[in-house]
Structure 1
Amino acid sequence: MASPATGYFRRLGKKLTEDIDQRDAREMAETADASGAQRASECCRGDEVTMLGRLRSVEACPKAAGAGMEAEFFDGTDTITLVWIGRRRIPGIEPGKTVKVRGRVGERGSDKVIYNPYYELQENS
């Protein structure tokens, strides 16, 4: 039987050698689970969801494409594209920001997408 100290050192060693992106994804998924949010990896087309995650990228789409704004949302398990139609800029919606989003999941090609999601900016920790 392993002593408590052995378990501590095993967890510490794993934390120190784990890939930063993997650790960030794991911590983000744990935070989302603790908030009661659904996981992006488990949602399907047509589901009404509330998710907590981070914006990886944000870009304004050209006028020819219908003038909108898109953001890549990542919750530690999967990515979802958030699309705001008719908006070129939304204050606070920037890469690296943590947001809670709510909306209905759709599909665009093989990607999951939420059009005009409700959102709440969260405090980054």
Structure 2
Amino acid sequence: MATSRRPLPVRRLVATVVGAPVLLAVLVAAGGGPRNASAVWFALVGATAVLGVLTIASFVPERGQSLAAARGCAPCSAMSLATVAGAALLLGFAPGQVTMALAALAVVAAGLLRRTLDLRSPAACPTG
């Protein structure tokens, strides 16, 4: 059974494009800066930044949508946003370490998955 995918709304696309370099800079700084990091670490942190900014951009209302509707379920929304901050903390615990960058990517991916599920099916929210 194939599912239809909607393209990313323009407002969220703009927020993603503008926010990705900013979040990447924040995550690299949290991870100890570029001095002792490998190319693999940078790739993982870059992927983390993209997934993190997609999570954050999902809170930008679509045209005609209220801010409350864009927010969705409050506990799930808070958890999704917290994963982005959690990724920065993980990177800070072990600067330049690939394993922590991989853990940060996994945490942010879980947050984006929860946010995506919350937006697609609000009734499926475990707290709602």
Measured against the shorter chain, the TM-score band is under 0.3
Larger Rg: 1
Higher strand share: 1
Relative contact order (C-alpha < 8 Å, sep 6+): which is higher?
A: 2
TM-score, structure 2 as length reference: 0.27
